Amino acid sequence: MSGTIAITGKGGVGKTTIAGLAVRALIEAGKGPILAVDADPNSCLDVALGVTVLKTIGKIREEAKETAALGMGAGISKQQLIELRIAESLVEREKFDLIAMGRPEGAGCYCFANNVLKDALGRLAANYDTVVLDNEAGLENLSRRIAQDVAVLVLVCDATWNGIETVKRLYELATEMEVSYKKLAVVVNRTKGEELPELAKGLPALFSTPHVIALPLDPQIAEFSESGRTVFELPADNPSLVRLKGFLSMLL
């Protein structure tokens, strides 16, 4: 197994776009089968990948609660029932599968859904070469260790003063929370050119990683997302796809 790539960063910086592109890039680099994990309740990784999620883990949790209230049938435990439903909720494609965390309905926190996802991920991950985790903004999922064994933590940020300051705080927080990973990478997204902006040039030294890249603003990516087209429909020479392929090949 190559490992898990966990993508995080503040809201709207391009996490889902990068997760989708990474799934395609890794498939084309022969790193399949891939498990894509939509760990953001508000996300739409399924749209980027062109699949439809019928059931999320949040939904499964609700159903399991109802079944438990009605009385469990045929000697099956709540945990077993949930595991069964999770296996059913997996969207399977030839080169990748997708699982979505969703939002637990009704009252209650995400803790149970998180724990279930964590357990399920641990077991599922063994069947895949690479896991791509699209996280919600911030470090919530990572601090809860929903993915054990993160091979690459990718911090995504905007190419603005505010964006760079935010990613510095995110790095400090990850360090404080002892989020564990083997390699750290940073994508400064929607830059004006292929060079890192002046503001971001100190990041490799500050974060002790050589893996910091600029991902230029890409009109084709914007247009594809506006029209709801998938990453698999992008032409093979799309500059963002080509750039991410090169970047990921150094990381995994």
Distances (CA, A) of 184 to 23, 24, 170, 213: 18, 21, 12, 12
- Is 122 or 228 the residue whose CB approaches ligand ATP more closely? 228
Size of the site for ligand ATP (CB under 6 A): 21
Residues 120, 83 contacting (CB under 8 angstroms): yes
Q: Which residue(s) pair with 132 in the sheet?
A: 5, 36
The DSSP line for 123-144 is HHHTT-SEEEEEEPSSSHHHHT
Q: How far is Cα of residue 54 from the mean position of the Cα atoms in its chain? A: 19
- Is 141 or 225 the residue whose CB approaches ligand ATP more closely? 225
CB of 165 to ligand ATP, least distance (A): 17
CB of 11 to ligand ATP, least distance (A): 4
- What is the rounded distance in angstroms from the CA atom of residue 226 to the CA atom of residue 204? 33
- Is 43 or 56 the residue whose CB approaches Mg ion more closely? 43
The strand ranges marked E within 40-143 are 91-92, 96-100, 130-135
- Is 217 or 250 the residue whose CB approaches ligand ATP more closely? 217
**Structure letter (DSSP) for residue 150:** E
- What is the rounded distance in angstroms from the CA atom of residue 252 to the CA atom of residue 216? 22
User: In the set 16, 135, 166, 240, which binds Mg ion (CB under 5 A)?
Assistant: 16
Q: Which residue is associated with the tokens 């990948």?
A: 49
CB of 120 to ligand ATP, least distance (A): 22
Stretch that binds ligand ATP, among 15-23, 100-108, 175-183, 206-214 (CB under 6 A): 15-23
Site for ligand ATP in 193-252 (CB under 6 A): 215, 217-218, 221-222, 225, 240
Q: Which residues bind Mg ion (CB under 5 A)?
A: 15-16, 43
Residue numbers of the site for ligand ATP (CB under 6 A)? Answer: 9, 11-17, 40, 42-43, 137, 189-190, 215, 217-218, 221-222, 225, 240
